[in-house]
């Protein structure tokens, strides 16, 4: 797997593209005008490992609130705006680190120019966010459907507007709710452009199906080296999106965050209550904020091998378990004490 090299831009302090690690984004789901609730949600997202937060700015009140929110948080903020260039200007004045707005939807070119100049002054990037559900009418007419080619064509039009104004702090997303179209659109785009890509499967739905759809779509792209920043869209709390993003990144060896539990599915050989042990371990380990691998295995078939490879591991036996730390057996523990021992051992790492 090799990462496709794109240009590097910055969203606040976070590098996106080039050799930068793939950043994880999410979007607040509170009313933007509720400053306190939004600030609290941002704090929870940051705690979950989110790198960049997007906030919807739908009117003047939201733009006012955005500047207050920005002053209360220390994570880069992107203002998500549709059509209204004045809201974009207001958001820039309020200190945002990036914009998500499609220049082709703003209207008169002088408005776009004013916006682009404000972005140039502050070094703020613009994400062009093409969505299969809202392509320009004439593009839809000529392609018949929101095909991957139609999605790329839409992105091209928006990009050309910015390039003609000599602006290239650009990031692009090409989302569809359908995984094959999303993958094909990103592939086609990355063959033609080196702008950094924000990847995501749009409107993926609720967990677990939304998680699976996102994992398949984003997994394929990331494995092919496509994607510089990502957002998993779920009908769920935003922290769930961040958690899922890291699971995807970790599963293909791109970026780790938090505790990764490796556990077996259990079978007729299992002689401890492994399913509940894993469930309780997940709960107890979550607050520890460590980036490590923990193996919890049911028996001696694959148990010792996995437990040895992990930072901490358990290989179950008959009512007991062998506890491993950094590849070495520490002790044999009764089943009733396994959970406490595991948590205690991990706390000392």
267 scored as a contact of ligand SF4 (CB under 6 A)? yes
296 scored as a contact of ligand SF4 (CB under 6 A)? no
299 is in an annotated binding site: yes
174 in Cβ contact with 186 (< 8 Å):
yes
Phi, psi of 114 (to 5 degrees): -60, -40
**What is the SS3 assignment for 104?**
helix
Chain position carrying tokens 């593009």: 139
Residue nearest to ligand SF4 (CB): 298
Instruction: Give the residue among 19, 13, 12, 2 at the shortest CA–CA distance from 196.
Output: 19
User: Left (φ > 0), alpha (ψ -120 to 50) or beta: where does 147 sit?
Assistant: beta
264 is in an annotated binding site: yes
Which one of residues 2, 166, 265, 348 is an interface residue with ligand SF4 (CB under 6 A)?
265
Q: Residues 6 or more apart from 290 whose CB is under 8 A from it?
A: 258, 259, 346, 349
Nearer to ligand SF4, 146 or 298 (CB): 298
CB of 276 to ligand SF4, least distance (A): 14
341 is in an annotated binding site: no
Instruction: Return the bridge partners of 39, or none.
Output: none
Tokens representing residue 111 in the block: 């408005």
Instruction: Give the residue among 233, 237, 235, 236 at the shortest CA–CA distance from 245.
Output: 233
DSSP 197: B
**Which window, 22-30, 73-81, 207-215, 300-308, contacts ligand SF4 (CB under 6 A)?**
300-308
CB of 297 to ligand SF4, least distance (A): 5
Tokens representing residue 197 in the block: 């890509």
Nearer to ligand SF4, 248 or 297 (CB): 297
Which one of residues 302, 304, 308, 343 is an interface residue with ligand SF4 (CB under 6 A)?
302
CB of 304 to ligand SF4, least distance (A): 10
297 scored as a contact of ligand SF4 (CB under 6 A)? yes
CB of 305 to ligand SF4, least distance (A): 9
240 is in an annotated binding site: no
DSSP 3: P
Which one of residues 33, 40, 247, 270 is an interface residue with ligand SF4 (CB under 6 A)?
270
266 scored as a contact of ligand SF4 (CB under 6 A)? yes
129 in Cβ contact with 78 (< 8 Å):
no
**Which window, 75-83, 105-113, 169-177, 266-274, contacts ligand SF4 (CB under 6 A)?**
266-274
Which one of residues 238, 298, 313, 321 is an interface residue with ligand SF4 (CB under 6 A)?
298
Which one of residues 93, 275, 301, 349 is an interface residue with ligand SF4 (CB under 6 A)?
301
95 in Cβ contact with 71 (< 8 Å):
yes
Tokens representing residue 285 in the block: 């380990």
313 scored as a contact of ligand SF4 (CB under 6 A)? no
Which one of residues 71, 269, 290, 332 is an interface residue with ligand SF4 (CB under 6 A)?
269
Instruction: Give the residue among 77, 232, 100, 88 at the shortest CA–CA distance from 171.
Output: 100
303 scored as a contact of ligand SF4 (CB under 6 A)? yes
CB of 300 to ligand SF4, least distance (A): 7
- CA distances, 187 to each of 4, 86, 102, 163, 177 (Å): 11, 34, 21, 21, 16
CB of 278 to ligand SF4, least distance (A): 11
Known binding-site residue numbers for [4Fe-4S] cluster: 264, 267, 299, 306
Known binding-site residue numbers: 264, 267, 299, 306
Binding site for ligand SF4 (CB under 6 A): 264-267, 269-270, 297-299, 301-303
């Amino acid at each position: 797997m090799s990462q496709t090299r794109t240009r590097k831009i910055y969203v606040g302090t976070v590098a996106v593209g080039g050799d930068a690690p793939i950043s994880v984004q999410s979007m607040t789901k509170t009313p933007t005008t509720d400053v306190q609730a939004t600030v609290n949600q941002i704090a929870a997202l940051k705690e979950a490992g989110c790198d960049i937060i997007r906030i919807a700015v739908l009117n003047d009140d939201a733009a006012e609130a955005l500047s207050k929110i920005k002053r209360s948080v220390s994570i880069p903020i992107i203002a998500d705006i549709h059509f209204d260039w004045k809201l974009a200007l207001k958001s820039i004045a309020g200190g945002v680190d990036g914009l998500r707005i499609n220049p082709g939807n703003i209207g008169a070119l002088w408005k776009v120019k004013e916006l682009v100049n404000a972005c140039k002054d502050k070094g703020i990037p613009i994400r062009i966010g093409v969505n299969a559900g809202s392509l320009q009418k004439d593009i839809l007419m000529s392609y018949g459907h929101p095909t991957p080619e139609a999605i790329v064509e839409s992105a091209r039009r928006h990009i050309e507007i910015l390039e003609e104004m000599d602006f290239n702090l650009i990031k692009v997303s090409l989302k569809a709710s359908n995984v094959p179209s999303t993958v094909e659109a990103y592939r086609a785009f990355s063959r033609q452009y080196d702008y950094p890509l924000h990847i995501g499967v749009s409107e993926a739905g609720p967990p677990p199906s939304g998680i699976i759809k996102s994992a398949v779509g984003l997994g394929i792209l990331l494995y092919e080296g496509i994607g510089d920043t990502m957002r998993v869209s779920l009908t769920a709390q935003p922290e769930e999106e961040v958690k899922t993003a890291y699971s995807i990144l970790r599963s293909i060896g791109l970026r780790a965050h938090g505790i990764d539990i490796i556990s077996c599915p259990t079978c007729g050989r299992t002689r401890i209550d492994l399913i509940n042990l894993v469930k309780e371990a997940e709960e107890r380990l979550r607050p520890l904020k460590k980036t490590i691998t923990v193996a919890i295995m049911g028996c001696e078939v694959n148990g010792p091998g996995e437990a040895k490879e992990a930072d901490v591991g358990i290989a179950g036996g008959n009512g007991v378990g062998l506890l491993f730390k950094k590849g070495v057996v520490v002790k044999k523990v009764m089943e009733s004490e396994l959970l406490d021992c595991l948590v205690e051992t991990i706390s000392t790492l």
